[in-house]
Amino acid sequence: MKTPIVTDTTLRDGSHAVSHSFTPEFVGQIVNRLAEAKVPVIEVSHGSGLGGSTIQQGFSTHDEWLLIEQAVANKKDSKVASLFVPGIGTRPEILKAAEYGVDILRVAVHCTEADVSQQYFEQAKKSGLGTVGFLMMSHTQPPEALAKQAKLMESYGADCVYVVDSAGALVPESVRERVSALKDALSINVGFHAHNNLGLAIGNTVAALEAGADQIDGTLRGLGAGVGNAPTEVLVAVLNKMKIDTGINLTILMDTAEELVAPVFQYPNVIDRDNLASGYAGVYNSFLLHVREAAAHFNINPVAIIEELGRRGAVAGQEDWILDVALELQQKELVK
C-alpha cells in the first residue's frame, strides 16, 4: 500500500463545530504545529468554503482572509488549501486566494453537479493553484455515476478528485466500490474524506487506501461538522501500525490535539442520537447545528427534522429547508 498525501482540515471542517469562531492567533498556532509535524497539506477557510460567512451558512467571528493570512505566514514547507463551493464562493475569491498565497483550491459540489465547476477549475489553474475536486454526499450515487462526474472534473483540470462522505453514511464496502471506480476511470489522484457518524471514519479511510486512494483527510481530535472526521493523530498512528510511513510526527499531532484543539470543543465529540440519525439518514453533517437550533426554537425532536431532511434528499445549499421542515412538523403536532 503506497503512502498517501494527508490533508489536515481542522481549520476548515472544524470551523463548523465551533460556529466559525477560530481566531487568527489560533490558526497561526495550529498551522505552525501542523507544519512542524510535516503535514503536507493544511486546509483553512470558513467551514462552507471561501465566501461562506453568510446568514445562511453562519457568520464568521473573524474575517477568513485574516485566518488565511496567518496560515500562509506559518505554513513552512506545508501547502495551504482552501475550500470553494460554487454559488457560495465566486471567481474573485479564487483570485484573492492566489494573491494571499493559498496553494490549492478544493472545489466542492454535490456529487451529481460536477458540470457547474468547470469555470472555477479553469480560473484556479490560470491563477497557478493546485486543484482538487470534492464530490460531496457521495453515498447518494452509485460508483459508476460518481466516476462519470469525476471524469468531468478531470477534464476541467482537477489534479485529484475526492469521494466525500459528507453525511458519514458510507461503510467500508461502499467506500471501496466508489474509490475503485474512480481509480479505474481517472488518470489523476483519487482522495477520500470521511465523517464519523457511524463510527467508521478511520475504518473507511483504511478501506479507501486499500482501494488505492492517493489522498486522505483528517482533523485534529476529529473536530468537524456533526460528530467530526477521522482524527488526524489517530489516522497517522494507524498508518504507522500498518507500516506506512507518512513522515508525519505523531507526537506533535497528539500534543496539539490534546493541548490546543480539545479546549475549543463546544459540545462533546460523541456519536449521540442526532449524529447517528444524521449518518443513518444520510443528511449533510453541516446541517446539524442548524437543526438543533430549529428544534429548540420549534420544540421539535431534532431526529424528526433529520429524518424528514433525509427523506427529501436535502443537499448542501438547502439549509433553508431546515426551518421549513421544523415549522411543518410543529404544525402537524398542533393538529394532533
Q: Binding site for Mn(2+), residues?
A: 13, 193, 195
What are the binding residues? 12-13, 166, 193, 195, 284
Name the grid cell of 148.
Answer: 462519470
Catalytic annotation present for 20 = no
Distances (CA, A) of 70 to 62, 73, 256, 281: 12, 5, 17, 38
Question: What is the dihedral angle through the alpha carbons of 208, 210, 214, 216, rounded to the nearest 10 degrees?
Answer: 40
Q: b or e along 165-181 (b: 16 or more beta carbons within 10 Å of the residue's beta carbon)? A: bbbbbbebebbbbbbbb
Name the grid cell of 104.
Answer: 490549492
H or E element at residue 192: strand 189-193
What are the binding residues for substrate? 12-13, 166, 193, 284
Q: Is residue 46 within 8 Å of residue 64, measured between CB atoms?
A: yes
Name the grid cell of 298.
Answer: 420549534
Cα distance between residue 71 and residue 101, in whole Å: 9
Cα distance between residue 29 and residue 75, in whole Å: 10
Place of cell 479507501: 208
**What are the residue numbers of the active site?**
16
